Amino acid sequence: MDSYELPDAIEPTYWNLVFHPSETRAAKILLGRFAHVSAFTYVPGFSAWILYDCQWGGVRIGLIPRVNVLVAYTRGATVIKFDRRYQRFALASRFGFYCVPAIKQLLGLSCVAATPDALYRYLIRNGGELISGQRVDASPAAAGSDVATGAGPGAGQSGCLIG
């Protein structure tokens, strides 16, 4: 399928990814350290941030005009800045439409991360810049929920783990 050029549009070159922590013990066991991921970026022409958040109830896109609202939204979360990439998507990147595949599409990533934890590790290993929050060990041995599945980088993979 072809890509279509946007007409004279301002398209962000980077996004800040917000990794929201798992709140319950069950969520930590099933999902890992992070339960959800969303994204925001600053658009100078609007003097505001665009928020992109794919939830079970649908995709939410909003403009945030005040930094205090953004600070409250990211409180307790880990934020990583990542440059958008322009590459062809692998078929595995197109399955499902929940927060992780939505963010991968937004960033132009063709990796097979299926959980917020796996996406976090991929971003850190591939140039993601930690903006706020505590850095979480990105090694597979520290991955808790992914270790049991035996997931790990194989031949031809770029270190993106299946979650």
Choose between 150 and 24: higher pLDDT: 24
CB-CB contact of 77 with 18 (8 Å)? yes
Residue 34, pLDDT > 90, answer yes
Average pLDDT on 122-138 reads 84
Q: How many angstroms separate the CA atoms of 147 and 20, rounded?
A: 21
pLDDT band at 8 (very low <50, low <70, confident <90, very high): low
The pLDDT > 90 percentage for the chain reads 37
pTM (predicted TM-score):
0.69
Query: Which tokens sit at 100?
Result: 């992780």
**What is the Cα–Cα distance from 134 to 124, expressed in whole angstroms?**
12
Q: How confident is the model at residue 144 (pLDDT cuts 50, 70, 90)?
A: very low
Q: Which residue has the higher pLDDT, 59 or 88?
A: 59
Stretch among 52-61, 66-75, 153-162 having the lowest mean pLDDT: 153-162
Q: Report whether pLDDT(93) > 60.
A: no
Tokens of 162: 């299946």
Q: What percent of the chain has pLDDT over 70?
A: 71
- pLDDT (mean) for 107-131: 90
Q: Could you tell me whether strands 34-43 and 58-64 are parallel, antiparallel, or unpaired per DSSP bridges?
A: unpaired
Is it the case that residue 157 has pLDDT exceeding 80?
no
Statement: residue 155 has pLDDT above 60: no
According to DSSP, the residues that pair with 135 across neighbouring strands are none
Average pLDDT (9-13) is 80
Domain boundaries, the chain: 14-149
Instruction: Name residues whose C-beta falls within 8 Å of residue 30's C-beta, 6 or more positions apart in sequence.
Output: 145
